[in-house]
Structure 1
Amino acid sequence: MFAYVTLKPKARLSLRAQPVRWSMPVSANLTVYELPPSRYERVRPLFASDRYDEPFRDEVFEGKLTFPVFADDPDNPTAAMICHPFEFYLGGAVSPALRMFCKDAPEEPGAFQRFYGFATAGAAWKDALLADTPLTVIERRNFKWPMDKPAPDWQAKLPDGAQLVWMNRAMAERADRELDEHISGQWGGYDNYERYGAGFCLLMDGRLTSVAYALAASNRHLNIGVKTAAGFRRQGLASIVCAALIEHALQRGLQPAWCSDALNHPSCELALRLGFEEDMSFVEIGPGWGNHLVLSRGLWSRGETRADGVTVWQRA
């Protein structure tokens, strides 16, 4: 049996909605372990060499946010997947069990309902996913701000009558509502954003015209998301709110980060124009915006939840 999940937009070109389905050959005795937060740190070394999207993973490792984490072994994992709403991050070796888990996309654990795409910098996981599924590759670019570089001057560029305000919870809700952002979804709720996030809003005559906010923030990095209202674009407003957020991040000792689809040329050009420097590239593998992911039913069953909080998932 199958269930359908409609994917949310992430600044992508719209594709005709189609269900994405793949063959699922039967394999026996495959087990995946869902880890409790107390064991998240055990999979952290599997992502140590991945110099992209660090704050999305680190905010999970640091205990700020709780999203499902699956591994091939609860004690000595060699493969893991962090099911962040932004991406499903795959690290380590390609294990048969976790590979089948990704291939099946089971409904029962409640994780794949938030699926947007798999992210990996490793060729092994990329090749495995493309061999197993009809998903497509989306090249991603990754940028970092040099920590010894000052933030751009934004005060001198502020238009007459414009007001730059802190993005608190109310303004985050307003950005989601008026600019069709997904701040609540990225943070697992506005409470988490208000506690750990950061952002700035540009108001002109009371209208919300441009926002820059933390898509993710860890103890080391802050990844920036930006959106400008239609009718106010190409006026330099995005540069102002981004520069203010870069300044804020540097004052907190955090390295500003930026990521974008390679085909999203305006985003990449804005990052470079602000002063970001390009770092490690990676790929997203997914069905694309507007398409549907088909979740399997009945292929994976929940086993015991151990005394240490580890939940066992077994393939039928």
Structure 2
Amino acid sequence: MATLIFYWLISSVNCMGLRFSSGSAPHSSSLNGSHCSGSARTGCKNVGFSATGKSQFSEIASGSDDREESLGRILKWPNLKVFSFEELISASRRFRYDIQGLVIGKGCFGPVYKGCLDENTLTPAKVGYGMAVAIKMFNQDYFRGFEEWQSEVNFLGRLSHPNLVNLLGYCWDEDKLLLVYEFMPKGSLDYHLFRGNITPLSWNTRLKIAIGAARGLAFLHASENNVIFSDFKASNILLDGNYNAKISDFGFARWGPFEGESHVSTRVIGTYDYAAPEYIATGNENRRSFLKPNRT
């Protein structure tokens, strides 16, 4: 039942054109202060540009100016800090597996470590003296590693919204690919829904999370933005200290077709259990293809 309500909320936001006021729930993690949160993103350095001022990853912007959306912003070029591998080694206590609480996640792409950075300079800080961050390290043998890493930089480096996780920067050091995000202390929605050893979320909290995730997806699906997220599921909805929801993991995201059009994929990407049956069968996708999960 909770899942049905959740997807009904999302469908309502996108299909009925609901607009949310600026009085939405707070969007920055309690551990992250105000650095690079919200729509301004003024605390990060402008990096990743060539001599011509264009992104070194891909030319994904159109028009000449950044675009302000309701509660969000689209930058013309990625606006992120470039970290050295040595900086992230220091920030993460050398990526050690034997320190309790240092490894906070793991996927097919690789592990996610908890690190610590100075809030103002984004330089490595001692534990307890800076802000907590999440550092995703991509396995060298993961066949989609560079593609997903590049997609995250291109999308989260440009998209800013209260209900999208905040990407602070990246590292590309020879064969080492890493991403640095704000730390989300409450973990994923998946953890709270499907782990039996924790206190169940209240209905008010579940509704708050559902509305927050719907706002984030509505921002992506706005006709001006036209982003197909492709992997919308509970494990990709992260929660800050106040249970505000933020969509994460843009490794499968891409720019979608315009209104009334569809995009044909040569291979199905994302998680099969959550993909629309017609998308799996035909490869045709649009913004609504990822609002109808197969399982409830």
TM-score range with shorter-chain normalisation? Answer: under 0.3
TM-score when scaled to structure 2? 0.25
Point out which structure has higher relative CO (alpha carbons under 8 A, 6+ apart): 1
Structure number having the greater helix percentage: 1
TM-score when scaled to structure 1? 0.24
Give the greater-gyration-radius structure (CA). 1
